[in-house]
Every structure is written in C-alpha cells, then in structure tokens.
Amino acid sequence: MTSNSTATAETQTRTNWKVDYDVDPIEIRDPVAEALGVLEPGDPFVITYRDAVKEAGHSCPTASGAYRIVQLGLDALYPDDYPVRSEIEVQAAGPQDDAAYGVMSRIISYVTGATEDDGFSGLAGGYGGRRDLLVFDAFDPDTAEPTFRFRRTDTDETVEVTYHVSDVPDGGPAIGNLQGILDESATEQQREAFADAWHRRIQVVLSDDSLFTVKAV
C-alpha cells in the first residue's frame, strides 16, 4: 500500500508541464500563515509563474502581464523587505468585468491576497484580514493600457504599474494555427509551431522590462 506521504509526493509531481519559463518567483509573507504555524515567522510563501498559470488555467500575454505587474509593483513598494499580505491595497484603473482587468485582478489577488468584500476578514480582531483591499475603477489612468496601483497600508506609499500590452510582439504567422488547433484540423507540425511561437511571446512579456512602466504616485 502506498503511504499518504508517498501519494502526496507523487501527486505534487504529476503535472506534466510542456513548457518552462525563465522568470523569478515572488516571495511574500502572510501573517496568518505565520500565526497558525504554516510558516516560520518571517518566512515567505514562494509563488512562481507556474502557480499563476494554475490559477488562470492557461498561459497568455494577459496572465504573464499580470504576474509581472504584481511582481514589479511589489519589488518597487518593498525594496528591502518581503511584501506582506493584509498590508497591500490593490487599485485597478478599470472595471472588474473588463476582459483584461478581470483576468489580471484574479492573478494579482492570488499573489497579494487582496480581495473585495468576499475575502478573508482576518483572525480575532481582524488580524491579517484582506477584505476590501481590492478596488476597481479606483482612478483615472493616463493611458488606456492596463494600469494598477499598489498601496502599502502601513506607510501609505503607492506605486503605479502600467503594462504596455500594445507593444507585445504578435508572435508571427504560426499564431494563426490556433483556429486549426481548436477545430482539430491542425497537423502536429502546426501545433508545435504554434506552441513555440506562443510561448516565446509569453517569455518576452516575462523578461522585457520595457513593456512596463513603474512609478511612485
């Protein structure tokens, strides 16, 4: 019989990833995880882009852009320390039902813990609460490009990150193979060409800082 610990280890390695990405993980503290003994005090959760892909269910320029938005925003807001869940307010320039802002906010919420009125309200006395820390239509941006602000509730410092999605390369003609993949008419070569072009495009988003503007506000 397989032990529970062995079965858990096998389950954790079962995902057969077909692609890998070169991008640093995000490290973030969670006071509730520390209080309840999930983490040692001061130790962070380590969140990778693969984790963001699991949350979104796919990898695309929107998902990778959201990952970089929150990564760059937190790096700017916490240059010398780990960011801390429950102390980060996320302000989205657009509405929740927008095709970009909706998807991006889910990934950003996953990383920061910030939610609207349906999130974790905290332990006794509200300790570690993350409710009402995600706000949509929070400000008027200078651009139509996806823009988010991150505010430290302990210091009121705020940074704004804009994703220049219009500058993301189109991926070339192989991207046009997607329709054939969806209707199952694509050849294996067309599938491979699409996957190669698609993931090279995503890697550009994950590695090209010129696609993002970060500023203090």
In the block, which residue shows the tokens 């692609």? 19
pLDDT at 8 over 60: no
Q: Is residue 190 part of a domain?
A: no
pLDDT at 126 over 90: no
Task: Read off the pLDDT band of 112 (50, 70, 90).
Answer: very high
DSSP one-letter string for 46-82: EE-HHHHHHHHTS--HHHHHHHHHHHHHHHHH-SSS-
Region of 174 please: left (phi>0), alpha (psi -120 to 50) or beta.
alpha
Contact of 148 with 91, CB cutoff 8 Å: yes
Nearest of 109, 209, 119, 121 to residue 150 by alpha carbon: 109
In the block, which residue shows the tokens 């380590």? 46
Mean pLDDT value across residues 12-25 = 85
Residue type, 97: D
Q: Show the domain range for 109.
A: 21-166
Q: Is residue 112 part of a domain?
A: yes
Q: Is residue 217 part of a domain?
A: no
Q: Is residue 195 part of a domain?
A: no
Q: Is residue 72 part of a domain?
A: yes
d(CA 192, CA 57): 20
Q: Is residue 117 part of a domain?
A: yes
Q: Could you give the percent of the chain with pLDDT greater than 90?
A: 85
Q: Is residue 2 part of a domain?
A: no
Q: What's the whole-number average pLDDT of the chain?
A: 92
Mean pLDDT value across residues 67-88 = 97
What are residue 136's DSSP bridge partners? none
Mean pLDDT value across residues 91-112 = 96
pLDDT at 25 over 50: yes
For residues 172-190, one letter each, b for 16 or more C-beta atoms within 10 angstroms of the residue's C-beta and e for the rest, the string is eebeebbeeeeeeebeeeb
Beta carbons within 8 Å of 155's beta carbon, 6+ residues apart: none
Q: Is residue 216 part of a domain?
A: no
pLDDT at 56 over 50: yes
pLDDT in tens, 170-210: 999 999 999 999 999 999 999 999 999 999 999 999 999 99
Please tell me the total count of domains within the chain: 1
